[in-house]
Homo-oligomer: A and B are copies of this chain.
Amino acid sequence: MPYVNIQVTREGVTREQKARLIDGVTTLLAEVLGKDPNTTFVVIEEVALENWGVGGLPVEAYRARKRPAAT
């Protein structure tokens, strides 16, 4: 009965992408650990860019400093 929490920056993740994440993680846990999908929860949290920091900076400032590289 796994619980998986996925945190990503809020940048237009679509419903279809979310469904693929849910399906992919659930399948992975079934294949690797034999977990029953019916008791596998996946929760996706989308975090505003200004609320996510890396390198001591909010994400946007961090990306700008490194020159725009998709992360």
Closest to A30 in B: B56
Q: Report A9 CB to chain B, min CB distance, Å.
A: 7
Count contacts on A: residues with CB < 8 A to the other chain.
54
A45-71, CB under 8 A of B: which get 1 and which 0? 111001111111111010000000111
Closest to A58 in B: B19
- Name A10-41 residues within 8 Å CB distance of B: 13, 15, 17-29, 32-41
Do the beta carbons of A13 and B33 come within 8 Å of each other?
yes
Q: Report A59 CB to chain B, min CB distance, Å.
A: 7
Q: Which residues of A contact B (CB under 8 A)?
A: 1-9, 13, 15, 17-29, 32-47, 50-59, 61, 69-71
